[in-house]
Amino acid sequence: MILVVDLCYRDGSLSRAEFVGPVERFLRGAGAEPVVRHYTAVSAPDIEGADGAVLCGTALKDTGFAEHPGRFRWLPAFERPVLGISSGMLALAAAFGGGTVPCCEIGMTDVRVTAPDPLFAGMTGFPAYELHERAVETPRGFIPLAVSDRCVQAIRHRSLPLYGLLFHPEVRNEWVIERFLQQVENTQ
């Protein structure tokens, strides 16, 4: 089971269809079993029963999740694959003490791969869809995997299968989610 975490400002918001729905549909189409929970409703049984987790993005001005860092304390102990997308990357980084910096990118951006990793195997770069006003300062224990001309686009924990992406793979780069699912399968 893949725990899909909705970071939108409230459970059942209209933003869910835009930021969570595509991830959920892709996972189902790939044969995974996603269970969607709003970040305020993630429970211990959800965490314990998950083989992996995806923290979904939010609308541009939807940053309410950042006011509740305690809701993400489970991430450092999870030890199973996590993919944080856009706002999900910010939540993941914050759980490890990482901060943010201003960096506005909206629309298509060229991303350059800067470190080898199975998520980007065989890639040197690719275009990706961006929708954010802030980027992460790479937290201690993480390495940058990809960058744009303006900021870090992808990070990975040095020893745990935890990934953060600033771009939205559900829009133009579904192959990233597919490769993430392969990581989940490899850890079962």
pLDDT tens-place string over residues 5-43: 999 998 888 899 999 999 999 999 999 999 999 999 999
DSSP three-state, residue 18: helix
CA–CA separation, 135 and 86 (whole Å): 9
CA–CA separation, 103 and 95 (whole Å): 20
pLDDT average, residue stretch 41-56: 97
Work out the angle at residue 104's Cα, subtended by the Cα atoms of residues 15 and 137, and round it to the nearest 5 degrees.
100
* Band (75; pLDDT cuts 50, 70, 90): very high
- Give the residue from 55, 154, 50 showing the smallest Cα distance to 95: 55
CA–CA separation, 83 and 56 (whole Å): 8
Enumerate the H helices of the chain as residue ranges. 15-19, 21-29, 44-49, 75-78, 87-95, 169-172, 174-187
CA–CA separation, 39 and 65 (whole Å): 8
Residue-number span of the structural domain to which 48 is assigned: 2-187
Enumerate the H helices of 60-104 as residue ranges. 75-78, 87-95
Please identify which residue in the block is written with the tokens 């990809």.
146
* Band (60; pLDDT cuts 50, 70, 90): confident
With DSSP H G I counted as helix, E B as strand and the rest as coil, what are the percentages for the chain, rounded to 5?
A: 35, 30, 35
CA–CA separation, 145 and 132 (whole Å): 18
CA–CA separation, 79 and 162 (whole Å): 8
pTM above 0.85, yes or no: yes
Better-predicted residue by pLDDT, 144 or 64:
144
* Band (63; pLDDT cuts 50, 70, 90): confident
What is the number of domains present in the chain? 1
**What are the pLDDT digits (tens) for 89-116?**
999 999 999 999 999 999 999 999 999 9
Residue 43 sits in a domain of what CATH number?
3.40.50.880
Q: What is the model's pLDDT at position 188?
A: 74
**What are the pLDDT digits (tens) for 125-177?**
999 999 999 999 999 999 999 999 999 999 999 999 999 999 999 999 999 99
